[in-house]
A and B are shown apart, each in its own frame.
Chain A
Amino acid sequence: MLRRRVIPCLDVADGRVVKGTRFVDLVDEGDPPELAERYAREGADELVFLDISAAPERRGTLLDIVERTARRAFIPLTVGGGVRTVVEMRDVLRAGADKVSLNTAAVHDPDLISRCASRFGRQAVVVAIDGRRRVGKIGIDPSAGDQPPIWDVLVGGGRETTGLDAVAWAERAVALGAGELLVTSIDRDGTGAGFDTDLLRAITERVGVPVIASGGAAGPADFVAAVRDGGADAVLAASIFHRRIHSIASVKVAMADAGLSVRLTPEVAA
């Protein structure tokens, strides 16, 4: 049976791992390859690097980090942040990444998803969707009682609105060739308020590709909820792992106790 994955996310800026609250207030949290190796040893099922640096020399720095990581951590690596072309994706894969996640560039140029999928296979193309709740307004019948939530897609690190509906964009991205979706709640990211399981459920009910939950993890119970209530295949978190608030092992044990199928490596099971 396919395991539910636990994925530490390393937000990388100018060669270092950082973490902010709601995409701002960055704090340095370490050397990417070193953290990657530690997580692999501790039972991470996969790693995600999101490059959020703005410096012009960012690409060279990123490729160097990816290559150093691929030499040390023998688990899958997804890289996102600033990939805009098939050639840029090729370079990241060549450096040692297994998948590339597209976000802003895919919104501005949806056909990029198709071009990347036909060149590298859809399994290598992750589309990251940053959703923010907008209750009510469009398509809601007030006489029907509860207003089902709606989520807007934001880009540019959660700063720009797009006018896209997150669920509709998720379906379109899959139709264009996305092999996986990384769904982040901007409302919850960095807050520790738990994943937005409504957003996850709304998307997992509509697509057949794996969905990675992101944004809001505070503890093991949130991981369980993302899978059980949100239907997520994988759950991603950053600060709670970097700051050693929770270990990957404790999260996995909690998921196993809740009856979810997880990979328990010897270190985790011990």
Chain B
Amino acid sequence: MIAPRIAVLDYGAGNLVSIDQALARVGAQVSVVRDPASWIEARPDAVVVPGVGAAAPAMDRLERRGLVTPLLDWLRADRPFLGICLGLQLLFEASDEDGAATLGVLSGRTIRLLDAPTLPHIGWNQVEQATGHPLFDGIADAADFYFVHSYAGSPNVPGDNVIATTQHGGRFPSAIGRGRTVGVQFHPERSGDDGMRLLANFVSLIAAEQAA
């Protein structure tokens, strides 16, 4: 099997070391992409958008680096994509956090967690699988993953896109999937063995597609 090439988008939203290292450990060839030229050069089989923080500065930096157009083209063509935390939230239409318009490839909004006993929601919480999505192959239902956020997709995100949910006060979608676009609100690169398993599953999905 040829190692799938994964482009990790760097738009200045924090720690990239963990996700790079974690993807490399599960067999991906990782390139950090900062602009359209490095994107083309990376010739990726899949794109990963990590990130924490607020939507408006993130959209602003993606725009300034010329990454919004290639990203939208990629998502509209249904090429393999994994959004992590903010990288998932950017797929929705807009964010209540700062009113920013986001990519809008998934219907729904990013809203503040409802009825949360503490905010931010920081720590390990159970991810309850709604469907048998291959991203969760070999991972027990209600396994613990690490979260660090105050906002998430609204509960009225279309149900067939929700592959897992989590409860902190109210219930929110913690994993989303539509076609080859997947996104998780938790941090697999910070979630120990189950997190590594999820990333390995993502890499396997890309590899299987290349082989087909």
Contact = CB atoms under 8 A, between A and B. Distances in A.
Interface of A: 1-5, 40, 45-46, 67, 70-71, 74-76, 93-99, 118-124, 179-180, 208-210, 233-234, 263, 265
**Chain B interface size range:** 35 or more
A121 B54 contact: yes
B53 A71 contact: no
Given A4-B123, A118-B54, 8 more contacts: A2-B118, A3-B125, A93-B15, A99-B148, A179-B122, A180-B122, A234-B123, A263-B124
Contacts of A5: 123-124
A30 to B, nearest CB: 21
B187 A76 contact: yes
Contacts of B180: none
Given A98-B148, A123-B149, A263-B144, A70 B15 contact: yes
B147 to A, nearest CB: 8
B170 to A, nearest CB: 13
A76 B53 CA distance: 16
Contacts of B15: 70, 93-94, 96-98
A73 B195 CA distance: 12
Contacts of B187: 76, 98
A121 B122 CA distance: 13
Contacts of B54: 118, 121
A96 B15 CA distance: 5
B14 A93 contact: yes
B150 interface: yes
Contact of A71 (B16, B21, B120, B124): B21
B17 interface: yes
B17 A95 contact: yes
Interface hub of A2, A40, A75, A76 (most chain B Cβ within 10 A): A2
6 contacts: A1-B125, A70-B18, A96-B17, A121-B53, A122-B150, A233-B122
A187 B144 CA distance: 35
A134 B134 CA distance: 57
B113 to A, nearest CB: 11
B201 to A, nearest CB: 15
B119 interface: yes
